[in-house]
Amino acid sequence: MKIKGKAVRAKKSKGQRVKNELKALGLIDEGRMVGSDEDYVYVPVLERVPDKYEVVEKELETREKRKGFRELLVERFGEKGAKGVLSSYDVVGDIAIVQVPEGLRAHEAEVGELLLRGEKKVNAVWKKAGGREGEFRVTKLMHLAGEERSETEYVENGVRMKLDVRKVYFSPRLSHERKRVLGEVKEGENVLVLFAGVGPFALEIGKACPHAKVVGVELNPEAIKYFEENIVLNKLGNVEAVLGDAQKAAEGEFSGWADRIAMPLPMGAEEFLGAAFSAAKPGCIVHFYRMVDRKGGVEVLKERIRKAAEKAGREVEFIFEKEVRPYSAATMQIVIDFRTRQSDNP
């Protein structure tokens, strides 16, 4: 829609300079767009422009404020209806993944369209059609709106990652945790990432610490394909992707190798503690992720870690713990960092 109002007229050759000056003076009317004809640009302005500018009356397009997804969703389905969607959707690159709650199933196509409209960078929307499945922890997805494409590129902590949301596990919800861990790594360390996926932990550590050697082990061949591609994409000569079982790698090729181990397998990493102790050098730090009950789950887990250490002839010192993200009312994902050392009483 066009509306008439005051605008500064300037020769096209001077247009950008005039715009910058008026912006610096805080005089631009942000509710209307800049217009132009063959010779002039018209910058919409508020009252009281210095005399040196030529002010005319001009019809200019109004700038419509783009509504975000939250606003659109609440407007259409109310706070209550929107709540379940807003807490469960993720954006990975230009793809949105959404879980449509039971109550909105009949409107799921509309939810998809609102996502496309409200999330500026989203070009494709997929809905969750089940939980994470199998060893590879891949979520079954069904196309909901926009392009029917599931491969995307995502940037996190300065690292570019290509991945296919239908073929591999990926969650942007651990980005802050990856940032914390990469900040702990010291140059020259050997870092072993078990359950590496398309490589977020390994790539981000490798980029932040060029003199650390980082190895990621992953069982899903599709994830390894992207992991390798991502190493090249980010030109990282200090990161290696290994296709295989974490236990075999930790007890075999990487036995006694690691100064630091990340274990991001929140459903069952404790099965691999023995292998992690094999890979750990004395003093090795382990970042261990697990879903636990909010009530007492942390202590139960620590006891399991102590027992596994004892079995491996090691001792552990717990140095950090926190909730990484909420999972359900009763459970949360946590990280526990511990240091390992040879037991005095083997």
Binding site for ligand SAM (CB under 6 A): 135-137, 169-171, 174, 195-197, 200-201, 217-220, 223, 245-246, 264-265
Q: How many CB atoms lie within 10 A of CB 223?
A: 27
108/220 with CB nearer ligand SAM = 220
Residue 231, SS3 per DSSP? helix
- Shortest reach from residue 38's CB to ligand SAM, in Å: 54
Sequential DSSP letters for 299-331: HHHHHHHHHHHHHTTEEEEEEEEEEEEE-SSSE
10/312 with CB nearer ligand SAM = 312
Strands 159-164 and 151-156: antiparallel
- Shortest reach from residue 92's CB to ligand SAM, in Å: 10
| Number of residues that this document lists for the chain | 346
137/314 with CB nearer ligand SAM = 137
239/246 with CB nearer ligand SAM = 246
**Distance (Å, rounded) from C-alpha 333 to C-alpha 148?**
32
Position of minimal CB gap to ligand SAM:
197
- Shortest reach from residue 97's CB to ligand SAM, in Å: 14
Contact between 217 and 250 (Cβ < 8 Å): yes
- Shortest reach from residue 108's CB to ligand SAM, in Å: 26
- Shortest reach from residue 221's CB to ligand SAM, in Å: 10
**Distance (Å, rounded) from C-alpha 76 to C-alpha 25?**
39
171/278 with CB nearer ligand SAM = 171
108/337 with CB nearer ligand SAM = 337
- Shortest reach from residue 264's CB to ligand SAM, in Å: 4
- Shortest reach from residue 265's CB to ligand SAM, in Å: 5
Sequential DSSP letters for 149-207: --EEEEEETTEEEEEETTTS---GGGHHHHHHHHHHPPTT-EEEEES-TTSHHHHHHHH
Contact between 247 and 276 (Cβ < 8 Å): no
- Shortest reach from residue 290's CB to ligand SAM, in Å: 11
49/219 with CB nearer ligand SAM = 219
**Distance (Å, rounded) from C-alpha 299 to C-alpha 290?**
12
**Distance (Å, rounded) from C-alpha 248 to C-alpha 254?**
9
Q: How many CB atoms lie within 10 A of CB 191?
A: 29
Contact between 230 and 204 (Cβ < 8 Å): no
7/242 with CB nearer ligand SAM = 242
| Cα separations in angstroms, 298 against 72, 210, 271 | 39, 34, 16
